[in-house]
């Protein structure tokens, strides 16, 4: 039994939880065991440090803190002010931003704050001016009608979901697709790359209020200088959602034209994924939007989560250390090694490779849907997620792709040799899996056939691959 501080802290916490609801304590312990034994290749997941995790389990959870630093609607928030200020300070220094807002609970919340800040700043309507200078209760029904009509009639141009964009960039079932008159830009059907001339053409034709860049499944860099030029050419506000690659920006892997912060009017991000912090969001902007962004609560958000802001401050402080830049570089090195390993084995990759932390495999070449491939890999101890590919014939549910990423395995210390071995395991599973049939004998998009012996063998090889790279070695729960 280890007696270091981390082991003592987590063991003690589980003992306290177990005294009240042992099934929760058991689930927490089981989750650590599962993560230790699986090849985690989900591009949007990572492993936060023990310090970050512990910063979330404390008395800050008991505080209401609507408002902003120094301007709260509840008394007794001086300590919340401290941690929120620290989170914002670290974010500004880390990303070179003029202003940072650390309250969003998630990436979608950060995007909603950004959308409404842009609308409030840009839309010129009598009703909106009244809302900004008078109490909301003073607005008449006619004012509200005019305001809703004005705000709901704005245009947004964002990356399409099948090209690698995110559902919060105007996907119809999402609130962003209901707030805006939205149009999407895709990628070149031959290369899978963004065609900036076509984006510019779409912007000239559509004249959006907001041009959104950023992605959840695009395996290449984006030239934000060019995107800003396109936005300026049509008078649009340029917004970047860097949730997936924030760690690569923080680690100075993406610089110059590929760093969104100097080019965008407003930038949103999550604080987990490649940034390796707690689940939450951030908004970065210049002084011209700062006042509107700081109205995120109560404009969009409910009460902030002070315990998560404390964890954000810890994680952002960690990201400012020199070793984080090395970590960010190794994420990309590993992704490229993984892509090379798959290509050598005959896999088809969207865009033919990667510049960032993720790889998108088109599994139709294996005769599978994304859903079949995802489950077969999971049976074999490899955790991925299915994802649409450009012009996906199987749609967003079954998909034709598997998205894999390297932030988590890089945190564990795996390198290029292990990435090649991982490519071999993935290729083995996909080549040994066949599409199944439904009850009527027709081909199924969900059912699949994989010899359990193959799944067991790959699972054992995956576990052996991870053995030299223990997860949370400083945490012993026994």
Q: Is 273 in the active site?
A: yes
The catalytically annotated residue of 72, 279, 312, 403 is 279
Alpha carbons 59 and 53: distance in angstroms, whole number = 14
Report the phi/psi class of residue 381: left, alpha or beta, with left for phi > 0 and alpha for psi in -120 to 50.
Answer: left
For 253, the token pair is 């892997």
The catalytically annotated residue of 11, 63, 64, 82 is 64
The catalytically annotated residue of 66, 93, 291, 424 is 66
Q: Is 447 in the active site?
A: no
Is the bond preceding 298 in cis, omega lying within 30 degrees of 0?
Answer: yes
Q: How many residues does the chain have?
A: 478
Alpha carbons 475 and 478: distance in angstroms, whole number = 9
Q: Is 279 in the active site?
A: yes
Pairing mode, if any, of strands 210-214 and 99-101? unpaired
Residue 155's SS3 state is strand
Q: Is 270 in the active site?
A: yes
Q: Is 93 in the active site?
A: no
Q: Is 241 in the active site?
A: yes
Residue 92 vs residues 85, 99, 219, 313, 449: alpha-carbon distances, Å: 11, 6, 27, 11, 51
The catalytically annotated residue of 273, 276, 312, 403 is 273
- The secondary element (H helix, E strand) that includes residue 217 is none
86, 311 Cβ separation under 8 angstroms: no
Alpha carbons 418 and 39: distance in angstroms, whole number = 11
Cβ atoms within 10 Å, residue 81? 17
The catalytically annotated residue of 241, 362, 374, 392 is 241
The catalytically annotated residue of 68, 168, 269, 270 is 270
First to last CA, the chain: 6
- Per-residue b/e over 143-181, b at no fewer than 16 CB within 10 Å? beebbeebbeebbbbbbbbbbbbbbbbbbeebebbebbe
Residue 287 vs residues 41, 167, 301: alpha-carbon distances, Å: 38, 28, 21
402, 377 Cβ separation under 8 angstroms: yes
Active site residues: 64, 66, 241, 270, 273, 279
């Amino acid at each position: 039994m280890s007696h270091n501080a981390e082991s003592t802290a987590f063991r003690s916490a589980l003992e306290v939880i177990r005294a009240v609801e042992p099934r929760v304590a058991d689930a927490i312990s089981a989750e650590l065991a599962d993560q230790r034994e699986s090849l985690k290749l989900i591009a949007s997941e990572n492993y936060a440090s023990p310090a970050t995790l512990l910063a979330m389990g404390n008395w800050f959870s008991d505080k209401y803190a609507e408002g902003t630093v120094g301007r709260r609607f509840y008394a007794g928030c001086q300590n919340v002010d401290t941690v929120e200020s620290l989170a914002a300070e670290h974010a500004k220094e880390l990303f070179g931003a003029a202003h940072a807002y650390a309250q969003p609970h998630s990436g979608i919340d950060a995007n909603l704050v950004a959308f409404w800040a842009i609308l409030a700043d840009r839309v010129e309507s009598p009703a909106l001016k009244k809302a900004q200078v008078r109490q909301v209760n003073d607005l008449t029904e006619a004012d509200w009608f005019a305001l809703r009509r004005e705000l709901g009639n704005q245009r947004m141009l964002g990356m399409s979901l099948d090209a690698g964009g995110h559902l919060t960039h105007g996907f119809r079932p999402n609130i962003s697709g209901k707030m805006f008159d939205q149009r999407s830009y895709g990628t070149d059907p031959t290369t899978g790359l963004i065609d900036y001339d076509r984006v510019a053409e779409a912007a000239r034709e559509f004249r959006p209020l907001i041009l959104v860049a950023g992605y959840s499944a695009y395996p290449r860099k984006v030239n934000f200088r060019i995107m800003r030029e396109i936005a300026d050419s049509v008078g649009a506000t340029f917004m970047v959602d860097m949730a997936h690659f924030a760690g690569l920006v923080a680690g100075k892997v993406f610089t110059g034209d590929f760093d969104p912060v100097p080019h965008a009017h407003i930038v949103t991000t999550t604080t987990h994924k490649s940034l390796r912090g707690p689940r939450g969001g951030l908004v970065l902007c210049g002084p011209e939007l700062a006042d509107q962004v700081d109205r995120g609560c109560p404009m969009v958000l409910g009460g902030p989560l002070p315990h998560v802001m404390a964890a954000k401050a810890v994680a952002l402080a960690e990201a400012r250390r020199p070793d984080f830049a090395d970590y960010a570089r190794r994420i990309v090195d590993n992704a490229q090694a993984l892509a090379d390993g798959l290509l050598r084995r005959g896999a088809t990759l969207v865009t033919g490779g990667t510049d960032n932390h993720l790889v998108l495999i088109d599994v139709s070449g294996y005769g599978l849907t994304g859903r079949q491939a995802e489950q077969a890999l999971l049976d074999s101890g490899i955790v991925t997620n299915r994802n649409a590919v450009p012009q996906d014939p199987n749609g967003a549910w079954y998909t034709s792709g598997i998205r894999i990423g390297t932030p988590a395995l890089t945190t564990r210390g795996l390198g290029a040799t292990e990435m090649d071995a991982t490519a071999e395991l993935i290729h083995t599973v996909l080549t040994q899996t066949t599409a199944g049939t439904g009850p009527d004998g027709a081909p199924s998009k969900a059912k699949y056939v994989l010899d359990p012996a193959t799944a067991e063998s790959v699972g054992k090889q995956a576990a052996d691959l991870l053995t030299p790279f223990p997860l949370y070695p400083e945490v012993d729960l026994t």
